Amino acid sequence: ELIHAVWKILLDEDSVNAHKNGIVVKCYDGVCRHIFPRIFTYLADYPEKVLLATIRDKGECPCPRCLLLKGYFSRLGLLSDLTARTTNIHQYFHSQVIAAHNTIYKLGAPIKGATPEQYLKGLSLVPTLVSDCFSYHTMSDCMIYQELFC
């Protein structure tokens, strides 16, 4: 959850607003220009990306964008694959994560114990609470999360 706290600071309300609506900046030549700041690249290896995407490293659904199961990798590129990936979009399953989080932190269950796993394993989730800066409902207009990490 530490890396999410850092990104929450980086993607504060002002930076998200600038990303959506732009900012007017007086440039060196004296001309005011409307600029839309972007983070063009975010380099990360697979384990770091799954940490940020809050999915399980090498889990049953290893894609941060869709809920494609490992067993369907042989169908990649087919028309049925496109349909499956556009209809089974990976999202933050808040209720499952909260339930697992509560069993760990309130009931003292082990992180990889049977009780938290019943909420998480099927969708390759981890018991990490996503900060507000990554929630889809607050950033649905610009989808910075998808642009950066997926």
Cβ pair 32, 53 in contact under 8 A:
no
Question: 126 or 23: whose pLDDT is higher?
Answer: 23
pTM over 0.75: no
Helix (H, G, I), strand (E, B) or coil at 120: helix
* pLDDT, tens only, 3-18: 777 877 887 888 888 8
* pLDDT, tens only, 60-118: 888 777 888 888 888 888 888 888 778 877 666 778 888 998 999 999 999 889 999 99
Q: Answer whether residue 41 shows pLDDT above 80.
A: no
Cβ pair 29, 126 in contact under 8 A:
no
Rounded distance between C-alpha atoms, residue 137 and residue 128, angstroms: 18
Rounded distance between C-alpha atoms, residue 84 and residue 67, angstroms: 8
